[in-house]
Structure 1
């Protein structure tokens, strides 16, 4: 008789959310299965902080809310419930007010890491653009100054910038490449 495959127990959404409230390690949720997230590098953290400082005045002026990597994004993709922790999100929908996650951001940003870049560029990008509220997805390199903006208004065409600035429709504001990388010491690894 062949060995039986171990049956996986799927975690309910309520159990996942309850566990994340008290967890020391964050986990992403993919239709009942959870995956621990690794810590971010110094450069990654500096880039997220710089983007936050650059975009907060624009978000406040437009009565939007800006969230960094501790707020989850809940998605429903092909009948599966998914929770991700994007590096940065902008929310302007006054009805999107769950305590621990967003469902309708207008902008989602990910800082690309060597260990997550493939997932960020494929799985997450495709999930993010499936949300009708998302106008832009910003992918930010951390090994060189390079912003990659996927914009719905262009039929999800990409704009890249390694200098100057990119216009963010979600905030009707410019994001300068120099601002994003202001605190990065390229001599340090």
Structure 2
């Protein structure tokens, strides 16, 4: 979701203080901060679809669902990201109002400008989170969802889901119809593979 243009150089504490005063959001990677770009309507719809389904399913549990404006901290990689959707069930995350450090699930909506980083450097950083069990990538251009799931041997196993299938989120013991996650995103999402557009 961030554009590859360095704006400032900070340590983590200075970033948090600076970011709190900014109008726009910035992700932080090892001393550098990157301005966030705007998103397409379909991106926002998919974010809300997933977050709403998770919120409904996790009512009356200790888990909390956050979207876009809540930071995920990866201390081992010296990063702060703004995931599209994240879920935490860890009581320690209630003690840090500015960020979440122990997410169980993180989801990112892919775009042409961010897909390589979401699959590469960002996923490498997220894998340093001992708490993380499911990393979800939603590709609107092809109406497809990938779930990278951590197994008992600490390997990340890819599970692919296409139209009509049910997405399993094992970390939360949930199954969500892919069509529910992608509802009302197909028309615009289908053009993303040929158009240059912000995330």
TM-score by length of 1: 0.88
Count of residue correspondences: 180
In the alignment, what sits opposite 2:63?
A: 64
**SS in structure 2 at match of 1:22:** coil
**SS in structure 2 at match of 1:160:** strand
Between stretches 169-178 and 43-52, larger displacement belongs to 169-178
**SS in structure 1 at match of 2:56:** helix
Kept in 1, the 8 Å contact 2:65–2:88? The answer is yes
In the alignment, what sits opposite 2:124?
A: 126
1:23-56 C-alpha deviation (Å, 9 max, x unpaired): 1111111121111111111111110011111111
Between stretches 174-183 and 16-25, larger displacement belongs to 16-25
Q: Which runs of 5+ in 2 are unaligned?
A: 1-6, 192-199
Kept in 2, the 8 Å contact 1:108–1:134? The answer is yes
In the alignment, what sits opposite 1:160?
A: 160
Q: Which runs of 5+ in 1 are unaligned?
A: 1-7
Kept in 2, the 8 Å contact 1:96–1:102? The answer is yes
Kept in 1, the 8 Å contact 2:140–2:186? The answer is no
**SS in structure 2 at match of 1:151:** strand
1:43-122 to 2 correspondences below 5 Å: 43-77=42-76, 80-97=77-94, 98-122=96-120
1:60-87 C-alpha deviation (Å, 9 max, x unpaired): 243200011101111123xx41111111
TM-score by length of 2: 0.84
Please state how far the C-alpha of 1:185 moved relative to its aligned partner: 4.3
Kept in 1, the 8 Å contact 2:110–2:140? The answer is yes
Kept in 2, the 8 Å contact 1:28–1:83? The answer is yes
Alignment partner of 2:149 out of 129, 148, 151 = 151
Please state how far the C-alpha of 1:17 moved relative to its aligned partner: 1.0
In the alignment, what sits opposite 1:3?
A: none
C-alpha distance in structure 1 between counterparts of 2:140 and 2:78, whole Å: 29
Between stretches 18-27 and 103-112, larger displacement belongs to 18-27
**SS in structure 2 at match of 1:150:** strand
